[in-house]
């Protein structure tokens, strides 16, 4: 894992967008895996700016979102469909048929639906760049603790903590869904490159466990340790419990000198 320490959320968002923009410019047909939540909002804002001001072209880009709440139709304001429209898709020139998000309104044949989502990823040639956030308990997508490390796209129950953490997105009288459809850990690991974003002190424990702890299904982000091309962008607060900061700085310096291509899209 290449761990990159960012000064604040703003520089993290700009660097994350830089990596995505670089991938889009180098490979106009790039397949991106996209997250939701509060953390990537700044990255999406910067991508919209790059589209408007620097002609970043999404016309051939293909996207697959990580997850969606079960029971929310795409037009529900708290659905991840609505989230993606609000933060990215309505503001760039992506073709609607190239943007894939699990459909939370399905009512049966879940396994078939999830297999079809996976087939879509395979038919697009696999995901080139998967971006993930991290939950307070260390989950990625909606792969809660005790998910199989080989899991595929599937229906999952949400942990009590996750529903609490996401409650603020919903109105006071609105129920937070208790299930979701999520890409599995095995699905995520098949992406060619993975970018993990974490911001804020409330993520420090999860980041330390994911990066420096043992690989365990109790902290599903730790499975990323198996992947050969993971870049972790953390701001100071989220890096607060990492113990090997100096090593990460040295590894970054070495990468800058010996393998600068690995850092394309990141500001120096």
Interacting residue ranges for ligand GLP, rule: CB under 6 A = 35-39, 66-67, 133-135, 141-142, 162, 166
* Closest approach of ligand GLP to the CB of residue 3, in Å: 18
What is d(CA 106, CA 170) in angstroms, rounded to the nearest whole number? 21
What is d(CA 227, CA 240) in angstroms, rounded to the nearest whole number? 24
What is d(CA 255, CA 231) in angstroms, rounded to the nearest whole number? 12
Q: Which lies closer to ligand GLP via its Cβ, residue 47 or residue 134?
A: 134
Q: Which lies closer to ligand GLP via its Cβ, residue 56 or residue 207?
A: 207
CB within 8 Å of 64: residues ≥ 6 apart? 31, 32, 33, 34, 100, 101, 117, 120, 121, 124, 127, 183
Q: Which lies closer to ligand GLP via its Cβ, residue 128 or residue 144?
A: 144
Beta bridge mates, 130: 33, 194
* Closest approach of ligand GLP to the CB of residue 230, in Å: 15
Are the CB atoms for 197 and 224 separated by under 8 Å? Answer: no
Q: Which lies closer to ligand GLP via its Cβ, residue 135 or residue 184?
A: 135
Are the CB atoms for 39 and 198 separated by under 8 Å? Answer: yes
Q: Which lies closer to ligand GLP via its Cβ, residue 208 or residue 263?
A: 208
Are the CB atoms for 31 and 63 separated by under 8 Å? Answer: yes
* Closest approach of ligand GLP to the CB of residue 26, in Å: 26
Q: Which lies closer to ligand GLP via its Cβ, residue 167 or residue 256?
A: 167
Nearest to 9 by CA among 39, 34, 37, 35: 39
* Closest approach of ligand GLP to the CB of residue 198, in Å: 8
3-state secondary structure of 231: strand
Q: Tokens 């900061």 sit at which residue?
A: 245
Q: Which lies closer to ligand GLP via its Cβ, residue 13 or residue 193?
A: 13
* Closest approach of ligand GLP to the CB of residue 143, in Å: 9
Nearest to 144 by CA among 156, 132, 130, 152: 156
* Closest approach of ligand GLP to the CB of residue 248, in Å: 21
* Closest approach of ligand GLP to the CB of residue 162, in Å: 5
Q: Tokens 């395979």 sit at which residue?
A: 122
């Amino acid at each position: 894992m290449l761990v990159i320490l960012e000064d604040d959320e703003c520089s993290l968002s700009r660097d994350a967008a830089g990596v995505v923009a670089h991938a889009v410019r180098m490979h106009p047909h790039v397949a991106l895996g996209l997250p939701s939540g509060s953390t990537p909002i700044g990255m999406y804002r910067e991508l919209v700016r790059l589209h408007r001001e620097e002609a970043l072209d999404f016309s051939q880009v293909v996207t697959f979102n990580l997850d969606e709440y079960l029971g929310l139709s795409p037009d529900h304001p708290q659905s991840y469909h609505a989230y993606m429209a609000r933060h990215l898709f309505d503001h760039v020139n992506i073709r609607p048929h190239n943007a894939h998000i699990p459909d939370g309104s399905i009512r049966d044949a879940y396994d078939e639906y999830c297999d079809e989502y996976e087939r879509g990823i395979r038919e697009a040639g696999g995901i080139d760049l998967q971006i993930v956030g991290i939950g307070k308990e260390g989950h990625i997508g909606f792969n809660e603790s005790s998910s199989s490390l080989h899991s595929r796209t599937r229906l999952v129950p949400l942990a009590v903590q996750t529903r609490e953490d996401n409650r603020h997105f919903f109105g006071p009288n609105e129920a937070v869904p208790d299930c979701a459809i999520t890409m599995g850990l095995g699905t995520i690991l098949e992406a060619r490159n993975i970018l993990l974003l974490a911001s804020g002190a409330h993520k420090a424990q999860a980041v330390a466990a994911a990066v420096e702890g043992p690989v365990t299904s109790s902290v599903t982000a730790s499975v990323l340790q198996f992947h050969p091309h993971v870049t972790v962008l953390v701001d100071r607060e989220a890096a607060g419990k990492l113990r090997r900061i100096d090593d990460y700085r040295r590894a970054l310096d070495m990468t800058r000198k010996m393998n600068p291509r690995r850092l394309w899209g990141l500001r120096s």
